[in-house]
Structure 1
Amino acid sequence: MIDIVDQKTRSRIMSCIHCKNTAPEMFIRRILHSRGYRYRLHDHKLPGKPDMVFRKYNAVIFIHGCFWHGHDCHLFRMPSSRVKFWKNKIETNKKRDMNVICNLRELGWRSMIIWECAIKGKKKVSVEDLVSITDYWFRKCNDNMQVRGK
């Protein structure tokens, strides 16, 4: 399949996609804040500039878009144009994500990744389950964790 817009237009469109304050991120922030959790946003002193930093729990949360981070779920679909470019882009993102998690772990931080498919789509997790999982992770789990759609 061929892209319906030229490369310059596609580049402009893609550059408008923001990596901070996305709808899934705002959704999670509202839920956790309403439950009494307090956090810092996008701490540039930590590897990967986590979306949310919970110093009290030595924990960080990343909200990952399924497309940009190459998640194996129903929301991810490899583009049919410029396949080589997109494969390389997504693989680079995945490698960077793994390095960031390892670096954070070495610094004593626990990481949670909440995938976009856990928040939206036909297989999303209920708000109650999301809160329960997060509560458990903050208080009782010393490992890294991922929350994905059902």
Structure 2
Amino acid sequence: MADVHSKAVRSKNMRAIATRDTAIEKRLAGLLIECGFDFRVQDEQLAGRPDFIIDSHRCIIFTHGCFWHHHNCYLFKVPATRTEFWLEKIGKNVERDKRDIRRLLGEGWRVLLVWECALRGRKKLSDNALTERLEEWVFSGGHHAQIDTLGIHALDDDGWQAPPGS
């Protein structure tokens, strides 16, 4: 199937995709404020330039788009055009994520991934459910975990096991 847009229009659309202050980051920031957490954002000195850093608890939180970081959920769909290109590009994102997370864990940080599907869409978690999961993870001393539409799940240090049914 051919792209419905010209190369120039597709390029313009791709350039418009934000890398910070996205809707899911804004929602999570509001929830972190509601929980009373003091946090920093987008520290370029840390591997992966984390979306949120809670220094008082040595916590790093990434908000991952389900498409760009290949989450096994209803929001991820392999494009019908240039499939090989997209799978390679997204695969590189996943490998970079794993490398950055291993580095952060090695530096003594705790890492939480919050997936886009937990923050928006038809299966998103309620604000109450999200704040409970955030507080649960931060205060429990959990090492490495993810939040998706099914709740919170511990991960191995190289992380990417999706829980059954996600």
The bucket for the TM-score relative to the shorter chain is over 0.9
Describe how 1:50-129 pairs up with structure 2 within 5 A.
50-129=50-129
Q: Distance in 1 between matches of 2:69 and 2:42?
A: 18
Instruction: Provide TM-score, normalisation by structure 2.
Output: 0.87
Instruction: Provide TM-score, normalisation by structure 1.
Output: 0.96
Question: Residue 39 of structure 1 aligns with which residue?
Answer: 39
Partner SS state of residue 67, structure 1: coil
CA drift of 1:7 comes to: 2.1
Partner SS state of residue 121, structure 2: coil
Question: Residue 141 of structure 1 aligns with which residue?
Answer: 141
Question: Residue 11 of structure 2 aligns with which residue?
Answer: 11
Partner SS state of residue 111, structure 1: strand
How many residues in Structure 1 have an aligned counterpart in Structure 2?
150
CA drift of 1:122 comes to: 1.8
Q: Which runs of 5+ in 1 are unaligned?
A: none
Partner SS state of residue 121, structure 1: coil
Q: Which runs of 5+ in 2 are unaligned?
A: 151-166
Q: Distance in 2 between matches of 1:50 and 1:139?
A: 19
Q: Distance in 1 between matches of 2:97 and 2:51?
A: 13
- Report sequence identity in percent: 36
Q: Can you list the C-alpha shifts for 1:66-117, whole angstroms capped at 9, x where unaligned?
A: 0111111001111101111100000000000111110000000011000000
Partner SS state of residue 40, structure 1: coil
Aligned residue type for 1:36? G
Partner SS state of residue 147, structure 1: strand
Aligned residue type for 2:94? K
Partner SS state of residue 114, structure 2: strand
Partner SS state of residue 62, structure 1: strand
CA drift of 1:142 comes to: 2.9
CA drift of 1:35 comes to: 2.1
Q: Is the 8 A contact 2:35 2:135 kept in 1?
A: no
Q: Distance in 1 between matches of 2:9 and 2:103?
A: 37
Partner SS state of residue 46, structure 2: coil
Aligned residue type for 1:101? I
Aligned residue type for 1:15? R
Q: Distance in 2 between matches of 1:147 and 1:40?
A: 20
Q: Can you list the C-alpha shifts for 1:121-150, whole angstroms capped at 9, x where unaligned?
A: 121112111111111111113311100113
Task: Note the aligned Cα RMSD (angstroms).
Answer: 0.9
